[in-house]
Structure 1
Amino acid sequence: MVKGLYTAHTGMINQQNRLDVLTNNLANSATNGYKKEGATSQSFDSVMAAKIKDSSEAFAARRLGGMNMGVKVGETYTDYSQGSFKVTENTYDLALEGDGFFAISFTDQNGGQSVKYTRDGSFTLSSEGYLVTKDGDYVQGSNGNIRINVSADVEIDSLGNIYENGILADKISVVDFEDSSYLEKYGENMYNLTEGGTFRVSEAIVHQGYLETSNVNVIREMVEMINVTRAYETNQKVIQTIDETLDKAVNTVGRV
């Protein structure tokens, strides 16, 4: 067994995983409120190597020391750092400054309902006056689904209070979590709180007429993609070199 083949193989798998994460970040660089992901890796546990079937060593096989078997794919994490704001001046476009998420009443394809969380504040009004996401899911407030008088002059302050013609009508539900590692990406730019996750009071500031852009730095991701590609090619060349060496050992040296 040529261990270099296995080491280079694990390196290629790891770089492929990193590339998948990078391309997903780039694909969502224009998605409102998107939080970029990163990939981790770790080495396999080292094992002890010893010489065997070597008559030059008397009585016992001599230890050669530790030997590493390559790299394995680690966890994928999410960077929840703040994205930049862009001005839209639309009444129902909202952006959060600080830690927190909008609570959304989500309905899946089977009609099941659950609460999901998002940083994407590109909301609008339905024909019935409900504040909804672009997919038609209801934005949650103090009294459940938020319903607004379509003919009223609407203002939303930094605390998320909704005023209709100067009168307090509802408050947008903004929540935060003790440990963000209990959040998992659900899809459709939303997050799901897994078992064990706990809530805490959010101190996020609500900005009306703004949207939070993704926190993906396109240039940085492109540079990292080049580094990943080069590392992948290096592992590929190692495999090619070992393959050529084995070919000569079998077909040239073995023929003598």
Structure 2
Amino acid sequence: MNIPFRSRAALPGETGRFVMFVSGAVLLLAVLPILTMIVMSFSGASNLDFPPSSFSLQWYEAAWRTFVSPDASDVLSLGQALGTSLLVACLSMVLATLIAVPAAYALTRCEFRGKAVALQLMSLPLVFPMVVLGLALLLVFDSLPFHMDTSRLVIAHVILALPFVVKNCTAAMVSIGTEVEEAALMLGAPPLRAIIDVVVPLMRSGILAGMLLAFIVSFNEFTVTYFLYNIDVMTVPIWMYSRTVSSLDPTVFSFAVLIVLIDFALIWALEKLVGDGGVSF
């Protein structure tokens, strides 16, 4: 009696060949643009032909010269734009964290009218169209009686990064029982001292993960920043965009490799924090 062929059922934890193939194809599509960019950054040609006919470090040398001082097509050097990006990202990270920690505590520990609405409003920047948000912020800042340069970029980036920081801090707060605060209060600590000395250290992994996410979001933000920057205050994404508009050459890929390396280091650190602390985002 012939038994028809049946494929072996996958055991729990095993993946079939089709799933592995689809996963590999998706991963390849995600990595392919980055690999193409890296290859093009080593091109020895004077144009953007792919694959390059020769390889050289000439565009990295040109990128270093542009990093130090602007060329004829640029107003600011990449070093100045990078300094602005780092300043805005650091300020946005700190301010978003200072707002998110008490907000996460209130959303977790306190019951108040409008709590559900507050949660929805906190997540609104995640789904709000970036073009509309940038235009709205531009109208608001231009209507003020005083001029703002870097500070309006910081405010905009705090708005964009705040949901990520609040989510991580809230996830960390959920795992902290109220008994730790009650024990601190029974030992004579004031309520604020109990929060600062007991609760905040236990939130460390969530706070650090949220800070890294805020830095990454701010450092790579383009759409909203495009509406708010000026010629003297320019972040790295805006600087790279302005260079591609004026003169598209492989130097741009050399700059992009630097940004990818920075983002990779930050994401690796974030994954270590998430893996060790169990914070979701």
TM-score (norm. length: structure 2):
0.23
Greater C-alpha radius of gyration:
1
Greater strand percent: which structure? 1
TM-score (norm. length: structure 1):
0.25
Greater helix percent: which structure? 2
